[in-house]
Structure 1
Amino acid sequence: MRLGLGSLHAVSFLLGAALPTALLFFLASDRLGEGVSSISTSWSWRGKGIMLQVGAAKPEANTLIAGDHAAAASPTQNHHEVEFADLAELLPKVAMEDRTVIVTSVNEVWTEPNSLFDIFRDSFKNGEDIEHLLNHVLVVAVGAKGFDRCKAVHPHCYLFEVKSMDMNMAKYFGTNEYVELVWLKLSFQQRVLELGYNVLFTDADILWFRNPFRHISVYADMSCALDNSKATSVLLNNTFNTGLYYMKSTNRSIKMVKYWRAARARFPGDHDQVVFNNIKYELIGELGARIQPLETEYISGFCDFYEDGLDKVCTIHANCCMGLEKKVHDLKNIAADWKNYTSLTPEERKKGAVKLTAPSECRKSMGWH
């Protein structure tokens, strides 16, 4: 096993707590159901009359109206029906040979020129033998404009449209509507798993430099990033960050996602990551989940930043950061550091000639010094 995780044989792939991350919005604090026989899937949740529309290329085809007071119900109850049109046909075009799909999500603002989506894509192109992985990235776009911009630069885009509100507005961060939408990533990923595909979910505010799959155990049902892998000596007590995680398509992983979604009713108003933290022992104890923490030496982020990490780092997440402009500013600096690093000879790299620029703007946003 990798990452020095030999102790996990004794602790059944320990899992840590999770901080709230933003899946779909540009103000982030990082950061679908039953029935395999059809594209349809069902779940229950609380909303404010939100109309949702999903599909790969037919934005008029499928809608959902979310009713009040449904969050307390189990996700297996059929209060609402959502069709992921064309998803089963799209996945084979995106998947790797082992049926793994990399999934991320963007909105209109993130897909503007020189915003997060461009930075995200460029990191693959400038990374170490990982540009080919872009062909296996499925981008879930929130809204028609984000979808159109995605299609202009990327071959695999999937529309998730919210009719009743402008999901690019910062005012929706932390609102009930926002919480509803961050939960939808689990619904989408559950459907992908049910269709027999492995999922590596990555937030779009993550730079990819090397292939993170080399650090993912083949024995784990789920491998997940940490905010700080050295915060405590026991991996279980470290904070998990679901801005990047891998789930293998197994009966157990599908049960994990269903359990995770169902547990939302016990923690009303909380984000998916908070609930994940609260049920970590249950996933391991009751389902036998095999969960691998990914150490920040390799799967890194602004919460636990290594200035000397260029020799090992695979991904860097703009977590522990509030505000799109700050994320973009600091990620661009780090991307420039990587370009300088890769221009050096192996001997020059060993001398540590290039260090990562600390995320100064993001630290200011969090009150760090």
Structure 2
Amino acid sequence: MEFHNGSFGSIFKLWLAATLAFLLLLLLVSQGWSPVDMMAASRRQRATTPTGRNSDEKNEEIIFDESYDETLTPFGLHSQSNFAGLAELLPKVATDDRTVIITSVNEAFARPGSLLDLFRESFYAGEKINHLLDHLVVVAIDAAAYQHCRRVHPFCYLLQANTSMNLSSASNYMSDPYVELVWAKLELQQRVLQLGYNFLYTDVDIVWFRDPFRHIGVHADMATSSDLYFGDPDDIDRSWPNTGFYYVKATNRTVEMLRRWRAARWRFPRGHEQTIFNHIKHELTAADGDLRVRLQFLDTARFGGFCQLFRNDMAKACTMHANCCVSLGNKLSDLRDVLGQWRNYTVIKPAERRRIFEWRVPAKCGTPDKRAARAPDSDRRAIS
């Protein structure tokens, strides 16, 4: 094959440009940049105003995007398919203000008599909150869980996680299947926001008593439950987020927040989504940053958990989370007891509720001393 000098020169230039681009990519990765970081930076540059600051109007705008921007997930794996059927399901479930409640189950949590049944039961035992089930999407991460869900609930969605791991059993906290599951859920939540829907995510090992939306600030981009709470919903420094229960408003700002949250997995490869969110919460909320997420921490007096029973008056309780609790059997036993305590409380006449009714210490999920010892470390949270 013959090459003219001009053709050879063009080919050489293309080869040189490709080589330099590859070397630049290696340099950026060696400095801690990921492909997701670079794509996010490109999006941020396009979203800025001519002055270089993000437009508040653009960040506040509710977005609606039918297309799916498939990006690289951590460690170079492509995201799953574009969530077929999700855009059709959400309008059937959403409230008038385009809000959906989301929980997720595998086969172990969805089978009869397991956590999904107990979770749904709590809505009927709670104070006039059973109508919220009409706005609940149960995300099943395996086919058996999907079939169990369809048995008891009208709005089920099968999430085909891009992994060869077995996600159907009750995975131990921080096991490989557990970690893959929490990141798959986060990707789906980002997609919900991209479609223009607010969401309240709740782990299925949480029982509900009262309407939580009454305690979420109207100006909050995100409101999250807490493992540690010191009385100030804006206390970023001391509060420990528990992302087993959190609300996110659908705006361009929060879509970018979830992109950065997922991208941060490259920087903290040993962490799970809650630990990493705690690491980057200052970046996301900084007043001099380009995102300035408005984050609210929810009072543990209303959104409690087994890590520590903070100011545990049943008169204030909205939810109770079986966190800091190992094994499905222990969670089921103690959550059934919690629901039994709640039922006993609700039959007491309001005039006789003048004293504080406190929750009993969970019988199966550890002693108070053991819970208090691990409560300050949110990395030890055990969720479904």
Shorter-chain TM-score tier: 0.7 to 0.9
Q: Does the 8 Å CA contact 1:307/1:358 hold for their aligned counterparts?
A: no
Whole-angstrom distance in 2 between the partners of 1:336 and 1:172: 27
Q: Corresponding residue for 2:137?
A: 138
1:358 aligns with 2:368: no
Task: Give the deviation of 1:356 after TM superposition.
Answer: 1.7
Cα distance in structure 2, aligned partners of 1:232 and 1:252: 23
- TM-score norm. by structure 1 comes to 0.77
Distance 1:290 1:233, change over 3 A: closer
Q: Distance in 2 between matches of 1:172 and 1:299?
A: 24
Deviation at 1:225, TM superposition (A): 0.5
Which residue number in structure 2 is paired with residue 342 of structure 1? 346
Check the 8 A contact 2:138/2:157 in 1, yes or no.
Answer: yes
Further displaced range: 163-172 or 281-290:
163-172
CA distance in 2, matches of 1:309, 1:160: 37
Higher strand share: 1
Which protein is bigger by CA-based radius of gyration?
2
Question: What is the rounded CA distance, in whole Å, between the counterparts of 2:317 and 2:245 in structure 1?
Answer: 14
Q: Does 1:241 align with 2:242?
A: yes
Q: Once the two structures are aligned, what percentage of the paired residues are identical?
A: 46
Aligned-partner SS, 1:326: helix
Partner of 1:85: 84
Instruction: Report whether the alignment pairs 1:156 with 2:184.
Output: no
- Aligned mates of 1:314, 1:172 — CA distance in 2: 27
Kept in 1, the 8 Å contact 2:171–2:177? The answer is: no
Question: Aligned partners of 2:79 and 2:148: how far apart in 1?
Answer: 30
- Matching of residues 302-341 of structure 1 within 5 Å: 302-306=306-310, 308-341=312-345
CA-CA distance at 1:173 after TM superposition: 4.6
Distance 2:164 2:260 in 1: 29
Equivalent residue, structure 2, for 1:209? 209
Which residue identity does 1:133 align to in structure 2?
L
C-alpha distance in structure 2 between counterparts of 1:159 and 1:82, whole Å: 12
For 1:301, the aligned partner's letter is G
Q: Which residue of 1 aligns with 2:302?
A: 298
The structure richer in helix per residue is 2
Within 2, Cα distance between the matches of 1:89 and 1:127? Answer: 30
**Contact 1:45/1:180, CA 8 A, preserved across alignment:** no
1:4 — aligned with what?
none
Amino acid at match of 1:153: V
Shift of 1:307: 7.1
Instruction: Mark the CA change 1:368 to 1:198 in structure 2 (over 3 Å): closer, same or farther.
Output: closer
Which runs of structure 2 are paired with 1:110-259 in the superposition (5 Å)?
110-162=109-161, 164-170=164-170, 173-230=173-230, 235-236=235-236, 237-259=238-260
Q: Structure 2 CA distance, aligned partners of 1:159 and 1:41?
A: 20
Instruction: Calculate the aligned-residue CA RMSD, in Å.
Output: 2.5
1:289 maps to 293
User: Taking structure 1 as reference, are residues 84 and 265 closer, same or farther at Cα in structure 2, changes over 3 Å only?
Assistant: same
SS of equivalent to 1:350? coil
Q: Which residue of 2 aligns with 1:109?
A: 108
Q: Does the CA contact (< 8 Å) of 1:225 and 1:244 recur in 2?
A: yes
Query: For this pair of structures, how many residues does the alignment match?
Result: 307
Contact 1:320 1:366 in 2 (8 A): no
Q: Which amino acid aligns with 2:222?
A: M
TM-score of the aligned structures, taking structure 2 as reference length: 0.74
Instruction: In structure 1, give the amino acid aligned to 2:178.
Output: Y
Whether contact under 8 Å (1:40, 1:81) holds in the other structure is: no
The structure-2 alpha-carbon separation of the partners of 1:186 and 1:209, relative to structure 1 and needing over 3 Å to count, comes to same
Counterpart amino acid of residue 150 in structure 1: C
Q: 1:351–1:232: structure 2 CA closer, same or farther, 3 Å change rule?
A: closer
For 2:334 and 2:212, locate their aligned partners in 1 and report how far apart those are by CA, in whole Å. 21
